[in-house]
Amino acid sequence: MKRNDFILIAVILIISIFSIFAFRSFSENGDYAVISLNGVEYAAYPLSDDREVKIGDSGTSYNVINIEDKKVYISDADCPDHICVNHRAISKTGETIICLPHKLSVTIKKSVPDNVSFDAATE
Amino acid sequence: MKEKKVRQKSARNISMYAVYVALAFIFSYIESLFPISVGIPGVKPGFANIVIVYIIYTSGRPSSVLTVTLLRTVLLACTFGNLSTLLYSVCGGLLSASVMFILYKTNLFSVFGVSIAGGVTHNAGQLAVAALILDTKELIYYYPILLITGMTAGFAVGYIANICIKRIRRPSGMISNNNN
């Protein structure tokens, strides 16, 4: 290995550790889970109420999103990789669970975006 | 003279490409059988990059590198993925291969540095496409962790590729510049 290799490793480590701490310190407890589908904000739910929402249907593709103790996680989905299901529960602003195969993302926010119908019920 | 030689050897080059693509394909397939679930998309060893790094160091030509990268990602997405995975992997693969090739040309880094840069930029490319498609800029939150995993994967790939470059006899058909 060359000296430059070690410099590269050091720089990457510093950037990543620094930005992990930066993201941590900027985030606070969020109030809403905003669900986006195909890049469009689709629905928002307050974290204060526990609930279970199924997005999509079993015939094509679905994700089951759970809100529990002010935390959000995906309990079930029929995507091939199940990365979203294995993701830990999120609760801080900016934290996101994404399901790439279904183009779905759940993001924690402090307030509901204007264009999203609050509590768009799909149950 | 050199041009003529290149043309004569093109048939052999094509079969070498086929072998490389098949090898990279198998690496990706085996990898997909053992998914690493840490709850973040894009965390994987990327052993197919061993092939790409090997080609960069043995052929030294951008066309070989890009051809194999493109074929591998397109074939893989057609077999196991869908249109969106195709976009992720093509962008990640092309970005990483280009960066690795450029760094190889600058001669500033060893195989390790080149492959680490490849691992890190592969993740960056995929994440950028995902952020565009999903219109979710919050995906940037994943990147610090992907930097570390990409670097670790890149180091492992560099280690193996380094051994391969030293030990495997160069295919005589490939025009190689043995300056490493």
Averaged over B108-119, what is the pLDDT? 94
What is the band of B3 on the pLDDT scale with cuts at 50, 70, 90?
Answer: low
Q: Do B134 and A15 touch (CB under 8 A)?
A: no
Domain membership of residue B175 (yes or no) is no
A81 in contact with B, Cβ within 8 Å? yes
Query: How many CB pairs below 8 Å do chains A and B form together?
Result: 98
Opening angle at CA A97, ends B98 and B74, nearest 5: 35
Task: Name the domain count of chain B.
Answer: 1
Mean confidence (pLDDT) of chain A:
84
Given this model, what pLDDT does residue B179 score? 45
Domain membership of residue B174 (yes or no) is no
CB-CB: which of B37, B82, B144 is closest to A16?
A: B144
Given this model, what pLDDT does residue B8 score? 66
Cβ contact A106:A74 at 8 Å = yes
CA–CA distance, B96 with B111 (Å, rounded to integer): 14
* Tokens coding B47: 């052993």
Phi, psi (deg, nearest 5) at residue B147: -60, -45
Domain membership of residue B180 (yes or no) is no
* Count of positions (residues) in chain A: 123
Q: Is the pLDDT confidence value at B178 over 50? A: no
Given this model, what pLDDT does residue A102 score? 85
Averaged over B24-30, what is the pLDDT? 89
Domain hosting B56: range is 2-167
CA–CA distance, A63 with B112 (Å, rounded to integer): 40
Q: Is the pLDDT confidence value at A10 over 90? A: yes
* Tokens coding A17: 């550790």
Given this model, what pLDDT does residue B161 score? 94
Domain membership of residue B157 (yes or no) is yes
Q: Is the pLDDT confidence value at A11 over 90? A: yes
Opening angle at CA B165, ends B159 and B170, nearest 5: 165
Considering only CA atoms, which of A101, A53, A93, A95 is closest in space to residue A76? A53
Averaged over B75-99, what is the pLDDT? 85
CATH number of the domain bearing residue B144: 1.10.1760.20
Domain membership of residue B129 (yes or no) is yes
Opening angle at CA B35, ends B30 and B39, nearest 5: 160
Please indicate, yes or no, whether the overall pTM of this predicted structure exceeds 0.90: no
CA–CA distance, B43 with B123 (Å, rounded to integer): 8
CA–CA distance, B165 with B107 (Å, rounded to integer): 16
Given this model, what pLDDT does residue B29 score? 85
pLDDT digits (tens, 9 = 90+) for A28-72: 888 889 888 887 888 888 888 888 988 877 677 888 999 999 899
Averaged over A11-30, what is the pLDDT? 87
Q: Choose from A27, A35, A83, A110 for mutation: most chain B CBs within 10 A.
A: A83
A10 in contact with B, Cβ within 8 Å? no
Given this model, what pLDDT does residue B143 score? 86
CA–CA distance, B145 with B113 (Å, rounded to integer): 19
B34 CB-contact burial (10 Å; exposed 0-12 / middle 13-18 / buried 19+): exposed
Domain membership of residue B12 (yes or no) is yes
Averaged over A20-28, what is the pLDDT? 83
Which residues in chain B are closer than 8 Å to A82, comparing Cβ atoms?
37
**Which residues on adjacent β-strands are paired with residue A41?**
A36
Which residue in A has a C-alpha nearest to residue B131's C-alpha?
A39
Q: In what order do the strands lie in the sheet with A104-109?
A: A40-46, A32-37, A104-109, A96-99
Domain membership of residue B7 (yes or no) is yes
Domain membership of residue B37 (yes or no) is yes
CA–CA distance, A116 with B83 (Å, rounded to integer): 28
CA–CA distance, B15 with B149 (Å, rounded to integer): 34
CA–CA distance, B19 with B32 (Å, rounded to integer): 20
ipTM tops 0.95? no
Q: Do B116 and A5 touch (CB under 8 A)?
A: yes
Which residues in chain B are closer than 8 Å to A38, comparing Cβ atoms?
134
* Tokens coding B157: 């790939």
